[in-house]
Amino acid sequence: MGSCIICGTSVDGRICDLHQEDVVFEFRGRRPDELTPGRYYRGSVDGFAEFGVFIDIGDSVTGLLHKSELDQRLDSLDWDSGETVFVQVKSVRDNGNIDLGWSIRQGESEFRGTLVDDPDNDGAILKEDADETDESDSTDESSDSSVGQPEPRETEPDTDDEQAASAETEARDETEESDETADAEEAPETEQSTETDAQAGQTQAEAVEATISELGDKVGSLVRIEGEIADARQTSGPTVFELRDETGTVDCAAFEEAGVRAYPEVDEGDVVRIEGEVEKRRGELQVETEALVVLEDEERDAVTQRMEDAMLQRARPDALAPLAEDPAVESVTDSLLDAATAIRRAVLESRPIVVRHSATADGYVAGVAIERATLPLIREEHQSSDAEYHYFDRRPLEESVYDMDDATGDVTQMLSNRERHGEKYPLFVFVAAAGTAESLDGLELLDVYGARRVVVDERAIDDEIVEEVDTLVAPSQEGAPETTATALAATIASGVNSDVQQDLEHLPAVSFWEDAPEAYVDLATDAGYDTETISDIREAIALEAYYQSYEDKRELIIDLLFAEQTEDVTGLAGHVSEQFRTKMDTEVETAEENLEEQTVDGESILVLDTEAYTHRYEFPPTELLLDELFRRHREDAVALVGFDTDEAYVRSDADIDVRAVVDQASEEASEAGLDARGAREGRIEFLAGERDAVQDAVLAALAVELSTAPAA
Provide, rounded to the nearest whole percent, the portion of the chain with pLDDT above 70.
86
pLDDT score of 513 more than 70: yes
Q: Is the pLDDT of residue 146 over 50?
A: no
What is the phi-psi region of residue 299: left when phi exceeds 0, alpha when psi lies from -120 to 50, beta otherwise?
Answer: alpha
Helix (H) or strand (E) holding 90: strand 84-92
What single-letter amino acid sits at 571?
A: G
Write the CATH number for 549.
3.90.1640.30
Single out the residue of 281, 284, 263 nearest to residue 272, CA to CA.
263
User: Does the structure show a pLDDT above 80 at 421?
Assistant: no
The pLDDT of 487-498, averaged and rounded, is: 96
In this structure, the answer to whether residues 84 and 132 fall within a common structural domain is: yes
State how far the alpha carbon of 573 is from the alpha carbons of 498, 536, 576, 579, in Å: 26, 6, 5, 10
Residues 99 and 211 in one domain: no
Residue 673, domain CATH: 3.10.310.20
Q: Give the whole-angstrom CA distance, residue 151 versus residue 113.
A: 12
Question: Which stretches of 140-270 are assigned E, i.e. beta strand?
Answer: 208-209, 222-234, 239-245, 248-254
Q: What is this structure's pTM?
A: 0.65
Looking at the chain, the whole-number percentage of residues with pLDDT higher than 90 is: 58
Check if the beta carbon of residue 387 is closer than 8 Å to that of residue 378: yes
From 510, 545, 574, the end of a domain falls on 574
pLDDT for the residue 105: 84
Greater pLDDT, 143 or 71: 71
Q: What are phi and psi of 465, to 5 degrees?
A: -75, -40
Task: Give residue 140's pLDDT band: very low, low, confident or very high (50, 70, 90).
Answer: very low
Structural domain includes residue 149: yes
- Which of 134, 159, 184 is where one domain is finished? 159
Q: Give ∠ CA 168-171-174 in degrees, rounded to 5.
A: 150
Report pLDDT for 192. Answer: 40
Distance, CA of 112 to CA of 3 (rounded, Å): 15
pLDDT of residue 602: 86
Considering the domain boundaries, does residue 60 fall inside one?
yes
Q: Please say if the pLDDT value at position 441 is more than 80.
A: yes
Residue 143 lies in a domain: yes
* Claim to verify: residue 421 and residue 447 sit in the same structural domain: yes
Alpha-carbon distance of 327 to 108, in angstroms, equals 74
Tell whether 616 and 539 lie within a shared domain.
Answer: no
pLDDT at residue 129 in the model: 67
DSSP code of residue 24: E
382-413 burial, b if ≥16 CB within 10 A, otherwise e?
beeeebbeebbbbbbbebbbbbeebbeebbeb
Amino acid letter for position 560 = L
Contact 539, 579 (CB under 8 A): no
Helices (H), 398-437: 404-421
pLDDT on residue 685: 95
Q: Is residue 184 part of a domain?
A: no
CATH number at residue 95: 2.40.50.140
Nearest one of 414, 433, 434 to 424, comparing CA atoms: 414
Mark whether 231 and 307 lie in a shared domain.
yes
| Main-chain phi, psi angles of 231, to 5 degrees | -165, 145
pLDDT higher at 42 or 386? 42
pLDDT band at 564 (very low <50, low <70, confident <90, very high): low
Kindly report the number of other CB atoms within 10 A of residue 328's CB atom.
20
* Distance separating the N- and C-terminal Cα atoms of the chain: 87
Q: Which residues span the domain enclosing 618?
A: 594-708
Tens of pLDDT, residue by residue over 451-480, are 999 999 998 899 999 999 999 999 999 999
- Of the candidates 86, 100, 93, 87, the one whose C-alpha atom is nearest the C-alpha of residue 33 is 93
Mean pLDDT, to the nearest integer, of 505-525?
95
Residue 165 in domain: no
263-295 pLDDT tens trace: 999 988 899 999 999 998 767 889 999 999 999
Which pLDDT belongs to residue 256? 84
Task: Examine the pLDDT at 17 and tell me if it is beyond 70.
Answer: yes
Cβ-count burial of 144 within 10 angstroms (0-12 exposed, 13-18 middle, 19+ buried)?
middle
Higher pLDDT, 420 or 219: 219
Helix/strand/coil for 191: coil
Does residue 466 fall inside a structural domain?
yes
Report how many helices (DSSP H) and strands (DSSP E) the chain contains, helices first.
23, 27
Q: Is 350 helix (H, G, I), strand (E, B) or coil?
A: coil
* Cα gap 682→379, rounded to integer Å: 41
Listed in sequence order, the residues at least 6 apart from 563 whose beta carbon sits closer than 8 Å to its beta carbon are 537, 569, 570, 571, 572, 573
Q: Which of 544, 574, 604 is a domain's end point?
A: 574
Cis, peptide link before residue 620, omega less than 30° from 0: yes
Query: What's the rounded mean pLDDT across residues 191-204?
Result: 41
Mean pLDDT of the chain: 85
603 three-class SS: strand
Q: What is the mean pLDDT of residues 675-702?
A: 92
Asked whether residue 552 is domain-assigned, the answer is yes
Q: What is the mean pLDDT of residues 11-18?
A: 80
Residues 6+ apart with CB under 8 A from 620: 546, 583, 584, 587, 628
Helix (H, G, I), strand (E, B) or coil at 91: strand
Verify that 513 and 598 share a domain, yes or no.
Answer: no
Three-class DSSP category at 403: coil
pLDDT at 122: 64
Q: In this model, does residue 406 exceed pLDDT 70? A: yes
Is residue 510 within 8 A of residue 534, CB to CB? The reply is: yes
Based on the fold, state whether residues 309 and 445 are members of the same structural domain: no
Same domain, 372 and 466: yes
Angle 361-381/333-348 helices, nearest 10 degrees? 40
Q: Note whether 505 and 637 are same-domain residues.
A: no
Number of compact structural domains in the chain = 4
Considering only 302-316, 328-342, 402-416, which range has the smallest mean pLDDT?
302-316
Contacting residues for 485 by C-beta, under 8 A, at least 6 apart: 357, 358, 362, 363, 366, 431, 432, 456, 457, 458, 511
Q: Which range is least confidently modeled, 114-123, 492-501, 696-705?
A: 114-123
Cβ contact 100:124 at 8 Å:
no
Residues 433 and 482 in one domain: yes
- 328 and 424 part of one domain: yes
- Domain co-membership, 152 together with 68: yes
pLDDT recorded at residue 226: 95
Q: Within a domain: residue 665?
A: yes
